Structures are given as structure tokens and as C-alpha cells.
Amino acid sequence: MPLCPPATRSLPVAGSVAVCAWRAVPIAAEVIDELGGKFDRTKEQEQFLSDERTSLRFVLAYSPQIAREVKEERTSRLSRADAFVGDCLRKLANPSGRGRKATPQGTYDRIRDYLRDHHLLSFYDIDLVDVEVVVRADKKARLWEERIEGMLLLETTDLTLPPEEIVRRYKELAEIERGFRALKSSLMLRPVYHWTEDRIRAHVFLCVLALQIERLMRNRLQSVSVRKAIDRLRQIKAGELRVHGVTTRKLARATEEQQNLLKFLDVPLPRIAKAEAL
């Protein structure tokens, strides 16, 4: 069997050593069943276990903090999805008489599209039986997600490095990979609309500088993504009030969420003086 099947992520660690991240494959369930119960759930620090086999080694890491964050985020998403599904089914069962009447096929498509777009399709069984739309929770899939909360399973050919070091090197390479994705997507390193060498160098410099700032923000923020934090902070607007010929500049009052984001980022609250200086 190849070291890393197509459904996994493979990264070189050092020399000829390779590391794979496993998730929903039989070998992952086998190793997690064997090692997962050995973690001390009362401790807050990240823990590591190792299972060595012929020429291969499995390393399992567990983070209580990530487990809590993943569970809270998944529970919130499923609650919103349940509300959406319930609303769709109610409209199908009890048409209001206004607008286009809901149909079984249309309701099925709408629910399925919502679950697909929110990456929740694997958590539900949805069927269209005659003229009835049946939506059930996929208990097997949900139990599996609960079992692997906060866990990272790696396969490696290295039989000597400590488990902590294997996980650390994998995370470092994953961070580099994430950086390249950010440069090519949200930070728009390419395409480059410049022709002279100086302008191209300046463009790349600004993109890399933005990447450093994005990485700093991600490290300082707790359970909020950088994109979400930026979207929230963008809502702090500066405006001008003109009364009887007198112009006054004002800032929108920061909400509690915005104040917490600025606190995490170690950035002071915007002030009127700064707004006037713009």
C-alpha cells in the first residue's frame, strides 16, 4: 500500500522522510481507537502518542483547546442548519399562500444546496421519497467527528524523532503551505500588473509584508479568523456631520465584539484625532 493515498495530505519533513495527515480512512479509525483513549482529558496542554509498525509509524496529537473550539463551532453550524431545514420543511407542509408554492423537489434541492455550501452534507441523510422530503441526522458521521475532535493523526517513515518533533515539523510546513495559499488568493500576489523591476519588487514586498501581518493577526486572535476579524473591524466608519456650516468628524462607536478584537490584536481603539488626520 502506498504511504499516502490520494485522500490524504503528504509533506516532506527532512530528507527522504515523509509525513501524511490521515482523516476518514479505516487505518485512521484503527489507530485512533487504539491510542485515542490514552489521552488525559483533564490536562490542558497538547499531548502526543506514537504507534510504530513495520517501517511505518503513526503519531497522534491531541489538543484540548482545539477540541473545544471545533465542538463549539460545529455545534453552532449544525444548530443553524437544523433551523434552516426545519423552516424549509414547515414551508413545504404549510404553504403561506403568498409567493411561489414550495415543492418537494425544490425543497429537497434547497436543503441539499445549503448543506453542501456549508460543508455539512456528510452530517445528514436527506432523501426524497415520493412527495416527502426526509432529513435525518447521520449519527455515525457525527460520532466520528466527536471522536476525532482536537486530534491530528500523522503517518511517517521516521522511526526515531520524538512524536512532538514530528508534529512540530508538520505544522511548520503546513504554515508555509498556508502562507503560499494566502499569497496566491486573498493577498493577490498574482497576477502582477507591473512591468519594471522596481515595481515588481515593491509589489512582492508589500504582499509578503501583508502575509506577515496576517500571520501576526492569526496568532493573536483566539477563535476568530483573520477574514472575519477584518470584516468586523471594517464596520468602524468615520463620517462627517455638517451643521450650520460647521463640519465635525465622528467615528462610529465600536461594539463590544470590535473592542475585544482590537484588544486581542493589541491595537488601541480608533480616536477622533486619528480620523481627522486622514
DSSP 148: T
Same domain, 38 and 98: no
Instruction: Give me the pLDDT at residue 115, please.
Output: 96
257 near 232, Cβ under 8 Å? yes
Range of the domain at 273: 232-277
| Domain-located, residue 226 | no
Mean pLDDT for 64-72 is 88
| Domain-located, residue 224 | no
Same domain, 39 and 70: no
Same domain, 56 and 99: no
Residue whose entry in the numeric block shows the C-alpha cell 517513515: 157
| Domain-located, residue 87 | yes
pLDDT at 162 over 70: yes
Instruction: Give me the pLDDT at residue 79, please.
Output: 96
| Domain-located, residue 120 | yes
Instruction: Give me the pLDDT at residue 78, please.
Output: 96
Same domain, 55 and 155: yes
Instruction: Give me the pLDDT at residue 140, please.
Output: 93
| Domain-located, residue 52 | yes
Same domain, 94 and 127: yes
Mean pLDDT for 111-122 is 95
Residue 273 pLDDT grade (very low, low, confident, very high; cuts 50, 70, 90)? low
| Domain-located, residue 216 | no
Same domain, 91 and 111: yes
The CA-atom distances, in angstroms, between 120 and each of 98, 113, 135, 231 are 30, 10, 13, 24
The CA-atom distances, in angstroms, between 125 and each of 68, 99, 108 are 26, 29, 11
The CA distance from 186 to 208, in Å, is 12
| Domain-located, residue 93 | yes
Domain boundary among 144, 161, 193: 144
pLDDT at 276 over 50: no
| Domain-located, residue 190 | no
What is the chain's mean pLDDT, rounded?
82
Instruction: Give me the pLDDT at residue 19, please.
Output: 54
Vertex 171: Cα angle to 169 and 175 (nearest 5) = 120
Mean pLDDT for 232-249 is 85
Retrieve residue 81's grid coordinates.
Answer: 442548519
Domain boundary among 124, 144, 164: 144
33 near 153, Cβ under 8 Å? no
Task: Specify the length of the chain in residues.
Answer: 278
Positions of E strands within 142-232: 151-156
Residue 76 pLDDT grade (very low, low, confident, very high; cuts 50, 70, 90)? very high
Same domain, 15 and 59: yes
Same domain, 112 and 59: no
pLDDT at 130 over 90: no
Same domain, 159 and 260: no
Portion of the chain with pLDDT greater than 90, in percent: 24
Same domain, 246 and 130: no
Same domain, 265 and 133: no
Domains identified in the chain, total number: 3
Same domain, 157 and 57: yes
Residue 128 pLDDT grade (very low, low, confident, very high; cuts 50, 70, 90)? very high
Instruction: Give me the pLDDT at residue 206, please.
Output: 85
Mean pLDDT for 233-253 is 85
